[in-house]
Amino acid sequence: MSLAYKYCNQHGVDILESLELKITPPNQFNDPFEFTPSIITSNPVRKAKEVLKGKEYIGTIHQKLLASGRFYGGFRQFKRYVKHHREEMAQDMSQYFATAAAEVQKEILDNVSKVYGVLCLAKNCDSILMWGHYCDKHRGLVIGFDSSNEVFQSKKGRGLRPVVYVKERVLFDATWDQRDPKVMAFEEQMVYSKNSDWSYEEELRQFSQLVPLKKKPLNDGTPGYFMQIPPAALVSVTLGARCSAELEKKVLSALTRSNLSHVKLNRAVLDERKFALKFV
């Protein structure tokens, strides 16, 4: 059985009681570089020429020029005009691609976050830094999950997968053709790549749409999205080295439910000689 872990503060008890995991829109992450690729336009003239071959786009331009009084003929006449003036039109259009790319780079994070969210888990449960950062200074708990459970799988290939830690931001060229395999590779890299400064997290993540998820407000009023977890997916709960007796009591109470009787309870303790945690 392969395991994945959720580092939690005292509210980790809520996961045990509700059997729900939070799916986070990327613009709520603590790393502002998440889902913010570097967008370039390597060949704006070529892209403009491709765009000017599209009937739908030509129709949009035609309507705008008609509305502004800069063209008076019908669509067929405008198509002939574009055919004979594509080179100069492409040159004129190309100057706007860099500006458009900059705007997309600013907006992509919020636009993705309106539709998609990410489940963030970790490969290991013994990171002293993770316990300190996400478990209220070792006062919280870590919940272990069976990562092979079907709830963490996806037919579209976006189930639970390890993050790839990189030195440079993911690159997207706005002049790529949408059918270019590079576009699909970029989408994967944007979801599953992260600045190498965060490599200590050994993160596993799962990408999903927000629409089918349960929605309820978080403590700060922002919308929260939650995925239901089958009891069988829970494997263990580890209490922090500084976990209070009150929190331990709440965890024990949650685990008395018959559908969680299989969950193993551990406690982290400080190793007497090394900078390490032991689990008893």
**To the nearest whole percent, how much of the chain has pLDDT over 90?**
64
Report pLDDT for 251: 98
Mean pLDDT of the chain, nearest integer: 90
Report pLDDT for 277: 97
- Greater pLDDT, 239 or 84: 239
Domain boundaries, the chain: 3-25+116-164+199-279, 42-113
Mean pLDDT of 121-142: 97
Q: What is the pLDDT of residues 172-195, one digit of tens each?
A: 988 787 788 888 899 889 999 999
Q: What is the pLDDT of residues 59-101, one digit of tens each?
A: 888 888 888 888 888 888 888 888 888 777 877 777 777 777 7
Mean pLDDT of 120-137: 97
- DSSP string of the chain? --EEEEEE-TTHHHHHHH-EEEEB-GGGSS-TTTT--EEE-S-HHHHHHHHTT-HHHHHHHHHHHHHHTS--S-HHHHHHHHHHHHHHHHHHHHHHHHHHHHHHHHHHHHHHHTTEEEEEEES-S--HHHHHHHTTTTTSEEEEEETTSGGG--TTS-SSEEPEEESSPPEEETTS-TTSHHHHHHHHHHHHEEEGGGGGG-EEEEEEESTTSEEEE-TTS-EEEEEE--GGGEEEEEE-TT--HHHHHHHHHHTTSGGGTT-EEEEEEE-SSSS-EEE-
Mean pLDDT of 107-134: 96
Report pLDDT for 157: 59
Report pLDDT for 58: 81
The pLDDT-based confidence of 155 (bands split at 50, 70, 90) is low
Report pLDDT for 237: 98
